[in-house]
Structure 1
Amino acid sequence: MSGPALAPLRDRRFRWYFASRAVDLLGDIMGGVALAFAVLEVSDSPSALGFVLAAHSVPLVAFLLIGGVLADRFGRTLIIQLSNLTAAVTALAIAALVLTGHAEIWQLAALTAVNGVAAAANQPALAGLLPQLAPKGALQQANALNGLLRNTALVLAPAAAGALVVGVGPGWAIAINGATYLLSAALLLPIKLPAPPQRGKGDSIVADLRTGWTFFRRTTWLWVIVLAFSALNALSSGGFQTLGPAHAKGSEIGVHGWALILSSGAVGLVLTSIVFLRVPLRRPLLWGMLGCAVYAGQMIALGSTTELWILMTAAFVAGAGIEIFGLGWELAMQEHVPADMLSRVYSYDMLGSFVAIPVGQLAFGPLGAAFGVQQMILVAGLAYCAISLLSLVSRSVRSMTRAEAPVTESTTDAPVS
């Protein structure tokens, strides 16, 4: 593979960014797997694990908006580096507690909460940094390469984490994650970007948040998709991620079959990333939301049959569909949101999209018990498909095309749609 597909990697700054993301993704995914087993070594209670995981997700959601403002104000590479250093300290502290046998649940939850605050700054900054580094005319390829990296890590990192946990224990795996945070921050040092625009005395954090919110609510395609994903993520997290494993374990699918289903989805993600290194995506949100409707197929299949080959095929197609949405969404945001407020707008997107995930996780367990696990997976899939297609009623969603050049800065009379 060569030519335009790999054009971003010929840019020195993008190569440093790509290397940093590779290290960060592998370490972060491995660390998440290892942390779960570390918690279960301290307490075999699922409630304890849920408590520690919630300790990360709650501050992540709570501080996302502030994280977006900080990234736009002080520079995205700086915020990423500071958040990585903070995450490294928490990971190494957790590793030390686990390795010395002194870990307690409240300690793990407290340190994980600090990591969640760091992630709240890191995620909007990362989202806003990539378009600053993508070579001119290669934004789609840069996003596709980023997606390929992420999807490959999702395939490789859990297996590596499992081998480390079994071989040397979760404490050492978490320590390695701490080291990857430090290396990831160091790899960003060679990247030099222009300083963020100077702000006046009246430009407070509250004013920055208000500016981002004004753009968000006035931009129809933006709030329509975020509103849709408030429901879609709740349905996916509850119907597929929560009820899916329970259904698999209690049926002829089994744990091994469930692993094959997840692997099939990952292959769909990876191959689609490769395809879009070369194939242009002209209508990012139209094809993206059609991809989401396709993603619902794996829940509809899981709610209708236990034939493994059907479920694996549906998962493969679902992986392809959701990867198309992911690429389309990044292109829409990066080309149609002013660069100087991109991290702030991403933070509103993430807040709206993430906020209902715990609702789905908590609600679908009782619903499955009351109405049947497989039946509720089917309902979730049908609702997911319907909401995805309903979003296309909005003309601003279905008619959006690629911009010839990204919006570089915001203005008070910037057109929205």
Structure 2
Amino acid sequence: MSIRTAPGQPSARRRRPAWAGRNYTLLTGAAVVTHLGSNGALIAAAFAVLEAGGSGGDVGLVTAARTLPLVLFLLIGGAIADRIPRHRVMVAANALNCVSQGAFAVLVIAGDPQLWQMMLLTALCGTGTAFFSPAAEGMLLSTVSGEHANRAFALFRMAVNGAGIGGAALGGAMIAAIGPGWVLAVDAVAFAVAGALRSFLDVSHIAPRTPGSSLLADLRDGWVEFRSRPWLWSIVLQFSVVVAVVGAAEAVYGPLVARDQLGGPAPWGLALAAFGIGTIGGAVLMMTWKPRRLLLVGTLCVFPLALPSAGLAIPLPTWGLCVVMLLSGLAIEVFGVNWMTTMHQEIPEEKFSRVSAYDWFGSISMLPVATALAGPAETAFGRTNALWGCAALVVIVTAAVLTVPDVRRLTRKPVPPLSASRPGDGGTGAVAAPATSAAAACDPDSPPAGPQTPGRLNLAPAPSGD
């Protein structure tokens, strides 16, 4: 006897939630693919430089070559992503990343790559990321409906963080087995696959763009949107410091403490793995928890980011360091989901990418400076004092943000039921909730209502292309 599904009821064979439409599924799948490749490729690039006879300073130059164009082109990338269909920008950026990583792989496999060649190719990869990131964030924000935003963003981030952990572990094993060049080649293939998936995104449910008279006018318009919201610019300023000092502690001081006081690199690897597990736990928590005061809860969860620096300053034994890294990973993921939900609720859909670009730009702008100054700071003040300084800065800037009324009062808004599904996203009605002013959202008497960090919630430079 066959079982028939009543009209209007979901099929029993359906394997995904009703709110996870076609676009959301494609975006999530493509992000998982690129994170599996890119997290291993970041390790492979460093080993490629070292195997070519480069020094630690040369590794830093290659890293800087990736970061500089990211900072230079982010704002332009955000403006362009709001002028033309975002999925085209994403596919073009993935194509650039595929070509640059493929060329990098060929150089390394062939042998004797030159430092300038590696810097040039990683700079191309950073340029692709600068155009990709604002478009991708805008596309994701426009793909889910307001009532499901919290769960959708949490699931997306859980999938991406899990892929990042797996990609780093797989990449490390592959480097040892077959060499860094082949890991870079796998990353190039991953970009090709992800670009193909993103080419199938349907943007018919998004209203046609009406760009300003010039790219400069669009940048000015994005700046007006950014500076008109105190909650937005204050938290981005906060994270310009938080990302910088936590990044310096993670990239510079952490490996040194592990080498000198914890017995080698293995304990630091365990601590980083614990942080990744914490982010997955935070995403699982946010699948069901919907705090009313989005930014207040999120900002309170930034305070634990001071714990890893303090743990390194003591230093804690390996198990203690793993515990504080686990807690900080869980806390920053709570912030991240609340941040994305706030952006989705408050920013007009047609300006998502421009505002996201200012978010990214502000959040990472001080990271290269902080990592460059970490060594001189250690020389001047001592490693322990420098680490305590990192922890103190996180606490100070986070406490300062809590003095901003909008941060304390902005609340989740109720989302009216959608009367009809929109084409292009699997029938989920996946459109952005109407944006309202931050001031209106901050009324403490309003009824209970239904961001890797502004920008970077993983405390390290994002992998190329995702």
Structural mapping, 1:47-126, within 5 Å: 47-126=57-136
State the distance in 1 between where 2:97 and 2:120 align: 13
Matched, 1:205 2:215: yes
CA contact (8 A) 1:8 1:141 kept: no
CA contact (8 A) 1:23 1:184 kept: yes
Matched, 1:375 2:360: no
Q: TM-score, normalised by structure 1?
A: 0.93
In structure 2, give the amino acid aligned to 1:321.
Answer: A
Q: 2:302 aligns with which of 277, 292, 299?
A: 292
Cα deviation, 1:355-404, whole Å, max 9, x if unaligned, reads 10011101121111222212211221122122112211101011111133
CA contact (8 A) 1:8 1:134 kept: no
Structural mapping, 1:8-407, within 5 Å: 10-135=20-145, 137-194=147-204, 197-199=208-210, 203-252=213-262, 254-405=264-415, 406-407=432-433
CA contact (8 A) 2:44 2:175 kept: yes
State the distance in 1 between where 2:296 and 2:436 align: 25
State the distance in 1 between where 2:363 and 2:274 align: 25
In structure 2, give the amino acid aligned to 1:117.
Answer: T
In structure 1, give the amino acid aligned to 2:64.
Answer: A
State the distance in 1 between where 2:223 and 2:340 align: 19
CA contact (8 A) 1:155 1:266 kept: yes
Alpha-carbon deviation of 1:203? 2.0
State the distance in 2 between where 1:337 and 1:404 align: 16
* Partner in structure 1 of residue 10 of structure 2: none
State the distance in 1 between where 2:43 and 2:375 align: 22
CA contact (8 A) 1:73 1:196 kept: no
Alpha-carbon deviation of 1:189? 2.7
Q: Give unmatched runs, 5+ long, in structure 1.
A: none
Task: Provide closer, same or farther for how the CA distance between residues 21 and 68 of structure 1 changes in structure 2, counting only shifts above 3 A.
Answer: same
Cα deviation, 1:68-113, whole Å, max 9, x if unaligned, reads 0111111111110010011101011111111111421111111111
CA contact (8 A) 1:56 1:109 kept: yes
Please give the secondary structure, in 1, of the residue aligned with 2:82: helix
Task: Provide closer, same or farther for how the CA distance between residues 80 and 414 of structure 1 changes in structure 2, counting only shifts above 3 A.
Answer: farther
Alpha-carbon deviation of 1:408? 4.2
Please give the secondary structure, in 2, of the residue aligned with 1:146: helix
Greater displacement, 7-16 / 280-289:
7-16
Alpha-carbon deviation of 1:334? 1.4
CA contact (8 A) 2:227 2:233 kept: yes
CA contact (8 A) 2:246 2:305 kept: no
State the distance in 1 between where 2:293 and 2:38 align: 32
In structure 1, give the amino acid aligned to 2:264.
Answer: G
CA contact (8 A) 2:295 2:408 kept: yes
CA contact (8 A) 2:88 2:199 kept: no
Please give the secondary structure, in 1, of the residue aligned with 2:192: helix
Q: TM-score, normalised by structure 2?
A: 0.84
Please give the secondary structure, in 2, of the residue aligned with 1:74: coil
State the distance in 2 between where 1:98 and 1:307 align: 38
Cα deviation, 1:247-289, whole Å, max 9, x if unaligned, reads 2211135322212211211111111111111121322211111
Specify which structure has the higher proportion of helix.
1
CA contact (8 A) 1:8 1:138 kept: no
* Partner in structure 1 of residue 425 of structure 2: none
State the distance in 2 between where 1:116 and 1:331 align: 27
- Percent identical pairs in the alignment equals 31
Please give the secondary structure, in 2, of the residue aligned with 1:197: coil
State the distance in 2 between where 1:404 and 1:118 align: 37
State the distance in 2 between where 1:284 and 1:47 align: 42
CA RMSD of aligned residues (A): 2.2
Give the aligned length: 412
In structure 1, give the amino acid aligned to 2:208.
Answer: P
State the distance in 2 between where 1:360 and 1:396 align: 29
Cα deviation, 1:39-63, whole Å, max 9, x if unaligned, reads 1111331111111111110000100
State the distance in 1 between where 2:312 and 2:58 align: 29
Task: Provide closer, same or farther for how the CA distance between residues 157 and 143 of structure 1 changes in structure 2, counting only shifts above 3 A.
Answer: same
State the distance in 2 between where 1:204 and 1:409 align: 24
State the distance in 1 between where 2:112 and 2:373 align: 34
CA contact (8 A) 2:345 2:435 kept: no
Task: Provide closer, same or farther for how the CA distance between residues 100 and 196 of structure 1 changes in structure 2, counting only shifts above 3 A.
Answer: farther
CA contact (8 A) 1:13 1:133 kept: yes
State the distance in 2 between where 1:286 and 1:81 align: 36
